[in-house]
Amino acid sequence: MKPTQKKRTPEAKPRIAQTITMRDVAREARVSLGTVSRVVNKHPAVKPEIRQRVEAAIVQTGWQPNVVAQSMRTASTRMIGCVLPDTSNPLFVAVAKGAEEVLREHGYAFVLANSNSDGERDLELLNLLLQRRVDGLLFAPSDEYDPRILSLLERTRTPTVLIERELPLDCDYVASNQCNGIRQAVDYLLSIGHRRIALVTGQQRIRPGRERYKGFVQAFERAGLRFDPALVRLDSMDASYAYREVQRLMELHEPPTAIIMGGNLMLPGALRACALKDVRIPADVSIVAVGETDLAELASPPITTVRWNLEAMGREAASIVMERIAAKPSADKRESRRIIVPTEIVLRRSCAPLK
């Protein structure tokens, strides 16, 4: 060992960009580290004079709290992770926006991740967020029956709120009442004389698909009528699926007189299909779309839709996570919150009474 050298060689590292820590503030204010901490955390037991000195020193040094270090100490990152199947779907966009809004109000950061409807990615992203020690999770799994997701969610102590999903386990969720939405749509179509009503929606492994089909079945049941199973298409909520199935439906020997598009991305596909096949709306077929959009409002003719408050869903979901985090120390066994937001039908000119 060279006695002329200290352990470190501080002169090797240029002193540039040395981060300012509370220790610097303490030195500047001629107090101890603990006192600075107390001032920062608004602990009441600090002499006003000292408090002022510290505050001045903070301004003087330009110190900013290091949230990473705080997280390390407090085991709270004040971050909420959010995993969605499609972060460009206006539906989830609105939910995310609502959620981000309330999280920010609470001083929480919003970490957004896109699973692209890939169950593997769901798992991967969840783990990534958990490793980052997010304090809570907003999550819309791509597959409600993936056992790995289920067991992960069951084991984790991180409060989680599902978005438009419902799992076979006890977990908070916020979802829209799609069952009722479709029922409203069918009721309306029945009321204006339609009987051959088609439903195009998808993915029975996630809640919206199931609820939509359920609503469809219920509406007919309650009306004491039977629907034609050949008019029900339950494989996807993509625009391309809508495009294809609307064409196929209209090519049937006995085509439907009305079609419900059960998915907010489907209307463009449906309209394209009608345009291609020279199907007039509502003369040849009545259309109801699920999910309000500019397109629905401004298409020719304007399209009747089922709508609900998306941002409210996001805000609600975020509020629940905040609540769970706040309640963490006390009760753990409170039962899960299940929020169902109502839907309404917006009547426009895309539906005509059956002649």
Point out which residues bind DNA (CB under 7 A): 1, 7-8, 19, 21-23, 30-35, 37-38, 40-41, 44-47, 49-51, 63, 65-66, 69-70, 72-75
Residue 287 and residue 277: Cα distance in Å, rounded? 15
Regarding 119 and contact with its own copies (CB under 8 A), the answer is no
In one-letter notation, the amino acid at residue 116 is N
Look up residue 178 and give its two tokens. 């799609």
* Residue 100 contact partner, candidates its own copies, DNA, none, CB within 5 to 8 A by sort of partner: its own copies
Least distance from C-beta 297 to its own copies, angstroms? Answer: 7
Look up residue 45 and give its two tokens. 């037991």
Least distance from C-beta 68 to its own copies, angstroms? Answer: 5
- What's the CA angle centered on 139, arms 136 and 141, to 5 degrees? 145
Identify whether the C-beta of residue 151 lies closer than 8 Å to the C-beta of residue 127.
no
Residue 267: how many CA atoms within 13 Å on its side-chain side? 24
Among 55, 101, 146, 284, binds its own copies (CB under 8 A): 101
Identify whether the C-beta of residue 85 lies closer than 8 Å to the C-beta of residue 236.
no
Nearer Cβ to DNA (1/298): 1
* Residue 74 contact partner, candidates its own copies, DNA, none, CB within 5 to 8 A by sort of partner: DNA
Identify whether the C-beta of residue 192 lies closer than 8 Å to the C-beta of residue 349.
no
Least distance from C-beta 158 to DNA, angstroms? Answer: 15
Residue 121 and residue 139: Cα distance in Å, rounded? 12
* Strand order through the sheet with 344-346: 232-233, 197-200, 258-261, 286-290, 304-307, 344-346
* Residue 271 contact partner, candidates its own copies, DNA, none, CB within 5 to 8 A by sort of partner: its own copies
Give the C-alpha distances (Å, rounded to integers) separating 1 from 4, 72, 101, 233: 9, 35, 58, 79
Among 20, 40, 50, 93, binds its own copies (CB under 8 A): 93
Nearer Cβ to DNA (69/169): 69
Q: Between residue 268 and residue 327, which ones bind its own copies under the rule CB under 8 A? A: 268, 271-272, 275, 293-295, 297-300
Among 27, 51, 53, 97, binds its own copies (CB under 8 A): 97
Residue 299 contacts by C-beta under 8 Å, 6 or more apart in sequence?
267, 271, 350
Least distance from C-beta 214 to its own copies, angstroms? Answer: 28
Span near its own copies by CB under 8 A; candidates 162-170, 183-191, 205-213, 263-271: 263-271
Instruction: List contacts with its own copies (CB under 8 A).
Output: 17, 19, 64-69, 71-72, 75, 77, 79, 87-88, 90, 93-94, 96-97, 100-101, 104, 109-114, 125, 127-133, 157, 267-268, 271-272, 275, 293-295, 297-300
